[in-house]
Amino acid sequence: MKGGSGKSTTSVLIALAYASQGYKTLLADFDPQGGTSVLAAGKDKTFKMFRTTTFLLMNEEVKPEHVFRLPLQIDLLPANETLDRFSSSINEYDIKDAMEQYEGNYDCVVLDCPPTMEGLTAAAVSYANKVIVPTKTESPQDFRATQYAVKRLRKRRKKPGVLMLGYREYPEENMGYHATLCREFHEEFGNDAIGYLPRSVRFLKAAADTNKKWTKSAIDKTLKPIFDLTQF
């Protein structure tokens, strides 16, 4: 759950995956850094004409015309730095209460939240019926951050779905740095792992290219496997 773990990329890919399977999808960015918003809509978008997740937490109505429309009919509620005001004062159930106005409007709601287990993230976890923990498998810091997130989620009685990015299975005789680290990840999180994704250009481009024309072949090759991973 630390920064750079692939949260934003994973959030956009999951939203695209569900939308590609016919689910009416809302992508809500609750990270003040707005990584998902920029990745999904482009760095040149200012969102001045659209309402952000801050409006939700201020209990202001957000109508369909207030959201940003993405490919495959995904609605985006973007974030900006004004969310910082809620980081320390937010109640555990504030996001759940704020999202009530959307009950019945969407088949799937994907939330991105800050790289922490407090504040906005704790409120997002309380609202969610599935929690996916993306993690890179590149360093001991990635391992410890994932270990911490999984422990905190279990305390909240939430089943963590660990999605390992860059994980590889190596021959037993390979005792290299990354091979050893991947074995440690598998030993510690194997029971919670929902799957593995390569840190490939194809997946990164899928998340970043908002003008992509999604053919059935591209959906089957890129997005359907991600949809299947989330069925835990």
What is the mean pLDDT of the segment spanning 43-65? 72
C-alpha dist (Å) from residue 2 to 51, 62, 201: 27, 30, 22
CB 96 within 8 A of CB 127: yes
User: What does the mean pLDDT of the chain come to?
Assistant: 87
In the chain the first and final C-alpha atoms are separated, in Å, by 19
What is the mean pLDDT of the segment spanning 101-121? 89
- Greatest alpha-carbon pair distance for the chain in Å reads 59
* pLDDT tens-digit series, residues 10-39: 999 999 999 999 999 999 999 998 888 888
What is the mean pLDDT of the segment spanning 201-219? 75
The pLDDT of residue 151: 95
Q: At what angle do helices 7-20 and 201-208 cross, to 10 degrees?
A: 70
The pLDDT of residue 25: 94
Q: In terms of pLDDT, which residue wins out, 108 or 199?
A: 108
pLDDT at 2 over 70: no
The pLDDT of residue 45: 58
- Upper half-sphere CA count for residue 143 (Cβ side, 13 Å): 15
C-alpha dist (Å) from residue 77 to 73, 134, 197: 13, 21, 26
* Beta pairing class for 74-77 and 68-70: antiparallel
What is the mean pLDDT of the segment spanning 45-67? 74
pLDDT at 118 over 60: yes
pTM of the model: 0.89
Phi, psi dihedral angles at 136 (to 5 degrees): -80, 155
Task: Identify the band that residue 132 occupies on the pLDDT scale cut at 50, 70 and 90.
Answer: very high
Residue 102's nearest CA partner among 36, 15, 20, 26 is: 26
**In 3-state terms, what secondary structure has residue 3?**
coil
Residue 53's nearest CA partner among 21, 72, 75 is: 75
pLDDT at 4 over 80: no
